[in-house]
Structure 1
Amino acid sequence: MPTTPSTNGHRPSDAQRRALLRTARDVADDFAADAIVRDQAGKPPTDETARLREAGLPTSLTPPGPGRGTDWRTGCAVIREIAAADSSVGDLLARHYVHAWSGRFYASHHQAAALEEESVREQWLWTGAVHAPGPDDDSDVPDLSLRPRANGYVLNGRRSVDTAVAAADQIVVDAVCATTGDVLVVRIPSGARGVSVEPAHDRLGQRVAGAGEIVLDRVAVTPGQVLGRRPHDEESTAPFTALAEPALRLALCHVALGTAEGALTEARDLSRGGRAHRLPGEDPDLFLTYGELASAAQTANAVVDRATDVMAQALDTGAHLDPEGAAAVAALVATAETVTSKAALRITARVLELADAPGLDRFWRNARVLTAHRPAAHRLRSIGEHYLNGSHRAVAAFR
């Protein structure tokens, strides 16, 4: 069980935060300049990850520690800045940041600290796919299985990964031990023997995120690559470990919100430049439409920021977090998802009616892929259960 301490003593200074956000804006400007061309090409994010590494963003977006990493609020601000320019790259960076926290969520304090130091030193880019505890664990045929051997395990199977499948340095997955039935969270170096990837092609959206499948054929897993045990059910999950799944969902809320804000900004600029179906002029209906869309974005922004603040406080609390705190975070994240998904889909679809320009459709396609697998009704029922009964269970995990 993780023994993660508070991160309060390792927050970057205001000057460091400002410098990181300036870097993010510069990188976002670079991505925005050719976002349409890269979206149409749909190639693996080789050039994109090289630009991120050049700017030092993967190294900066690791958990805060002595002389390294950044706090949750600043990390999410960087993700949203990048997502507004290129939703695919924002998605990639969001998943990197959350998976870089895996040591704190699942491992001991000593193991997590050593892993984070190595990640910064080696400039690792992270990705992965860890399932949330739930009924799906009852499957008789898990997609990934571990078989013990004298010096660790052998890992077999295949798993869909949403970003950087061919570009990441470390891949975090959960797998079932064939002898004990325990679900273990492990990290796999991308260049390990027996690891191959099958990139996804012709995606509707998020075309540059680098999605695909990893195929694991008798991959050796050392004891040091085992981060910890992932409980089978929500009730037996340590409160801090329970933050892993909502942390990813909240980071993706920032991606969706950035996507919506990017779409609205581009449509506005097109309207001002005269490349729109209706020019601004004195058209009250156009003012009304933009007012409605801007209000929807600002409302989502307020909800997401509230959830971000509460998540940051919970991460700072560390191992002292109680079940009530974890449940409250999950409920706020589910609320943020519900509001943001609705706003992102509405804004990105509506701007297509306001401006006429090639590539503007990419925002809706990206928003559609980001929100497709998170049904609103399931989230709302879970939020209602938490509100009425104060349930300590995780709220509305998605598969």
Structure 2
Amino acid sequence: MPANPSTPAPASEAARRRALLRTARDVAEDLAADSPARERAGRPPADETARLRDAGLLAALTPPRPGRGADWRTGCAVIREIAAADSSLGELVARHYVHAWGGRFYSADHRATALEEESAREQWLWTGAVHAPSPDDEAGRPDLTLRPRSPGYVLSGRRPVDTAAAAADQIVVDAVCAVTGDVLVVRIPPGARGMTVEPAPDRLGQRVAGAGTVVLDRVAVAPAQVLGRRPHDEESTAPFTALAEPALRLALCHVALGITEGALTEARDLSRGGRAHRPPGEDPDLFLAYGELATAAQTATAVADRATEVMAQALDAGEQLDAEEPAAVAALVAAAETVTSKAALHITARVLEFADAPGLDRFWRNARVLTAHRPVAHRLRSIGEHYLNGSHRAVAAAFR
């Protein structure tokens, strides 16, 4: 059964949580100091990844087990803290955390436990791109192909990856077996023989995230690298597996919230420091503008926090999750994504009216790239259909 959110955590777990959040704040402060310069340079996140690893965040941001890992609420708080300082790194951390759950979403529990222990011990950085099941066979068909070869498979094709394409220790992708037609979720290490990465230079935003296209030419995949099978459609998806895509979308909502926090904080500091177009003084119009934006940010945070709590309870339920729950969770996540996307784009555009300072535009560019591929109208129609008809299919469609 889901954990009761009002039940206090054991003292040791609460202390670990506080320590992790303190570490996240320290890392965020360090990242914020040179974020504009690193964003302008747009280099792959090799140094940044080292900072995260040295601070222990990569090992800590794995699914929770007694004495290690981070529960969903804490993980999302860390993501938001990092994203407020550097949204590229916030997205990198978000995708790392969710893909580290891949063993639980697609594998048996004993395999997931061993994989998570190895990930924490080796301080792996995770990334990937797994397609959501689709009622349209062609839309849901992966662009990667597995061909059986004893032992295991060989993997071929191309797949865009939004973070750490060349820096990650594990890349999680789905691929169709050319013989059986099954869609399998596999993990591959960068640098594997037959694999190359085509970087994505000169991105509009999220320039330090390390995006690129992974090109695979008969890359060997051992049986131990197969996490599990991804069903072809949402009707045949196990309840816990159905949380995989909403979990990623919700983690990215916290990146968007971090962007709004970072933009508002920097604009406020510029206004207080006299570098704004209008000095703060007693300007009621400026007060009104900041009041509007602060309210929009708080509203988005409230919606995302509600979805976060419900997702946390669903993840705590594990294999005992009720078959009807994932659709309700996904509907809340789709609503959170809609609200946070609108707030991030609106706030980051408005703060440009307050101050003319180098680097302030990066918040809008980062928000634009983060939200560009998820049209709001598409999600709203899916949410509405679920509200009216209780359609699982409609909610699943919101994440494509």
Q: Give the TM interval when normalised to the shorter protein.
A: over 0.9
Aligned to 1:186: 186
Matches within 5 A, 1:19-58: 19-58=19-58
- Structure 2 CA distance, aligned partners of 1:122 and 1:66? 18
With 93-102 and 150-159 compared, the bigger mean Cα shift is at: 150-159
Q: What's 2:154 paired with?
A: 154
Match of 1:378 in 2: 378
C-alpha displacement of 1:64: 0.3
Structure 2 segments unaligned to the other structure (5+ residues): none
Q: Take 2:211 and 2:140, find their aligned partners in 1: how far apart are those partners? A: 26
Question: How many Å separate the matches in 2 of 1:309 and 1:140?
Answer: 29
Measure how far apart 1:140 and its partner are: 10
- Which residue identity does 1:25 align to in structure 2? R
Deviant stretches of 4+, over 6 Å: 5-12
Deviations 1:132-173 (A, max 9, x none): 001454269842000011211110011000000011000000
Amino acid at match of 1:108: A
What is the match of residue 366 of structure 1? 366
CA distance in 1, matches of 2:284, 2:142: 57
8 Å Cα contact 1:7/1:315 also seen in 2:
no
Tell me how far 1:249 sits from its aligned partner.
0.2
What is the CA distance between 1:378 and its match in structure 2? 1.1
* Cα distance change, pair 68–230 in 1 and its aligned pair in 2 (3 A): same
Query: Secondary structure of the residue that 1:218 maps to in structure 2?
Result: strand
Change (3 A) 1:62 1:258: same
Tell me the equivalent position of 1:133: 133
| Matched letter for residue 363 of structure 2 | F
Offset of residue 6 of structure 1 = 7.4
Question: 1:398 — aligned with what?
Answer: 399
1:321-332 to structure 2, matched below 5 A, reads: 321-332=321-332
Name whichever of 47-56 and 142-151 sits farther off.
Answer: 142-151
CA distance change for structure 1 residues 109 and 336 in 2, over 3 Å: closer, same or farther?
same
1:208 match: 208
1:347-376 C-alpha deviation (Å, 9 max, x unpaired): 000000001210000000000001101111
Give the superposition deviation at 1:189: 1.4
- Distance of 1:65 and 1:307 partners within structure 2: 22
Structure 2 letter corresponding to 1:171? I
Deviation, structure 1 residue 196: 1.3
Q: Letter of the aligned partner of 1:257 in structure 2?
A: L
| Aligned partners of 2:142 and 2:174 also within 8 Å | no
Give, as a single letter, the amino acid of the residue that structure 1 aligns with 2:202. D
The whole-number CA distance in structure 2 between the counterparts of 1:50 and 1:348 is: 29
- How do 1:86-165 and structure 2 match up within 5 A? 86-135=86-135, 137-138=137-138, 142-165=142-165
Counterparts of 1:304 and 1:297 in 2: how far apart (Å)? 11
Deviation at 1:104, TM superposition (A): 0.3
Which sections of structure 1, spanning at least 5 residues, go unmatched?
Answer: none
Residue 315 (structure 2) aligns with: 315
Alignment-derived partner of residue 177 in structure 1: 177
Which amino acid is the alignment partner of residue 38 of structure 1?
R
Structure 2 letter corresponding to 1:76: C
Q: Is 1:78 paired with 2:68?
A: no
Q: Is 2:132–2:140's contact at 8 Å kept on the other side of the alignment?
A: no
Residue 340 of structure 1 aligns with an amino acid whose one-letter code is T
CA contact 1:58–1:123 (8 Å) conserved in 2: yes
CA contact (8 A) 2:141 2:176 kept: no
Q: SS at 2:234's partner residue?
A: coil
Q: Secondary structure at the match of 2:359?
A: coil
Normalised by the length of structure 2, the TM-score is 0.96
Report if the CA contact (8 A) 2:300-2:340 is conserved: yes
Q: Is the 8 A contact 1:300 1:336 kept in 2?
A: yes
Check 1:141–1:67 CA distance in 2 against 1; reply closer, same or farther (3 A cut): closer
What is the distance in 1 between the residues matched to 2:35 and 2:295? Answer: 26
Q: CA deviation at 1:23?
A: 0.6
CA distance in 1, matches of 2:222, 2:161: 22
CA distance in 1, matches of 2:279, 2:397: 43
Q: Deviations over 1:74-98 (max 9, x none)?
A: 0000000000000000000000000
Q: Amino acid of the residue matched to residue 100 of structure 1? A: A
Equivalences, count: 395
What is the aligned partner in structure 1 of residue 196 from structure 2?
A: 196
Q: Distance in 1 between matches of 2:23 and 2:273?
A: 28
Q: Which secondary structure does the structure 2 equivalent of 1:180 belong to? A: coil
Residue aligning to 2:217? 217
Per-residue CA deviations over 1:91-142 (Å, capped at 9, x if unaligned) read: 0000000000000000001110110011011110000000000145426984
Letter in 1 for 2:195: V
CA distance in 1 between counterparts of 2:369 and 2:233 reads: 28
Matches within 5 A, 1:265-276: 265-276=265-276
Hey, what does 1:304 align to over in structure 2?
304
User: Partner letter of residue 285 of structure 2?
Assistant: D
